[in-house]
Amino acid sequence: MDGIQYATGVVSNKFGSLEFNPWVQRTGWGEHFNGLSFSTIRQLASRDPEAKWPDMLEMLV
């Protein structure tokens, strides 16, 4: 599952399973990152300065 729009209202709970949560929709995150995959955002926000950089050209697809 890599579709960020699909998962706009889904969060993982403490057991690791997925559940719907309207809070995520209210944040507007899905809209803000529209077009970027979760893995790209995860790489962008990584705390590891040596972490692999995402291929941002996927934005152009």
Fill in the amino acid letter for 34.
Answer: N
Residues 2-61 that bind other proteins (CB under 8 A): 2, 7-8, 10-14, 16, 18, 21, 23-24, 27-29, 32-33, 35, 37-39, 41-47, 49, 53-54, 56-57, 59-60
Answer for the pair 18, 10: CB distance below 8 angstroms, yes or no.
yes
CA separation for the pair 18, 6 (Å, rounded)? 12
- As given in the structure block, the two tokens for residue 54 are 């995402």
Residue numbers at the binding site for other proteins (CB under 8 A): 1-2, 7-8, 10-14, 16, 18, 21, 23-24, 27-29, 32-33, 35, 37-39, 41-47, 49, 53-54, 56-57, 59-60
